[in-house]
Amino acid sequence: MRTPKVIKRLVDILATMPGIGPRQAVRLAFHLIRQGKSAQKGLEDAVASLQLVGICNQCFYIHEGEGLCEICADDKRDQSIIAIVEKETDLMSIENTGKFRGRFLVLGEFGRGGLLEADQKLKLKSLKSWIAKRFNGKAQEIIIAFNPDTQGDFLATQIIKELEGTAEKMTRLGMGIPSGGEIEFADEETLGNALERRR
């Protein structure tokens, strides 16, 4: 006996989702069964409501409805400062700091090849022409907000080249000892970065 037939379809779908292995998929299916019909209906409806999700045609973040998302439509934000992020969750984390008042560009998850994919290049192109129209070709600042790892560094370099001349400043997020971290336990790379970027 492998997975019981009656839950196999659900288990197979769950097991393809990020961070869910085959064992947890089975556990989740049994959890849903135990929760009963109304909880199952609740999940169904919540998945169905994803049909309402639209993608902002400027920053490619999600929102309800069509056209621009709340951030891009917000006149009180400084639209001439653009943070380029990989994932929607990176955008959310930056928003949660409450310290960024510009707009975003959500590139989409990086592939394994380490190169920009066609749709990511298109997004950069649309940013360029938006800057051309809106700010006469030069925004105030472009912040490349990628994870500080090999792939992030590599793609950041590519993008900085690609967008050359489109902003007064091109910056990357600060690197160093995380808040609450201990020098003693920082790896050499991190501590090296913290030294180089001291101020």
Closer to a second copy by Cβ: residue 5 or 199: 5
Nearest approach, Cβ of residue 12 and a second copy (Å): 8
Closer to a second copy by Cβ: residue 178 or 192: 178
Whether 109 and 152 have beta carbons less than 8 Å apart is answered as: no
Closer to a second copy by Cβ: residue 45 or 188: 45
Closer to a second copy by Cβ: residue 27 or 121: 27
Sign of CA dihedral 129, 135, 138, 140: negative
Nearest approach, Cβ of residue 159 and a second copy (Å): 21
Distance from first CA to last CA of the chain, Å, rounded?
63
Nearest approach, Cβ of residue 198 and a second copy (Å): 31
Closer to a second copy by Cβ: residue 44 or 189: 44
Nearest approach, Cβ of residue 35 and a second copy (Å): 9
Closer to a second copy by Cβ: residue 33 or 68: 33
Nearest approach, Cβ of residue 14 and a second copy (Å): 8
- Residues in the site for a second copy, rule: CB under 8 A? 1-7, 9-10, 13, 17-20, 23-24, 26-33, 37, 39-40, 42-53, 62-64, 87-89, 92, 95-96
Distance CA 181, CA 177 (A): 6
Nearest approach, Cβ of residue 192 and a second copy (Å): 29
Distance CA 32, CA 35 (A): 5
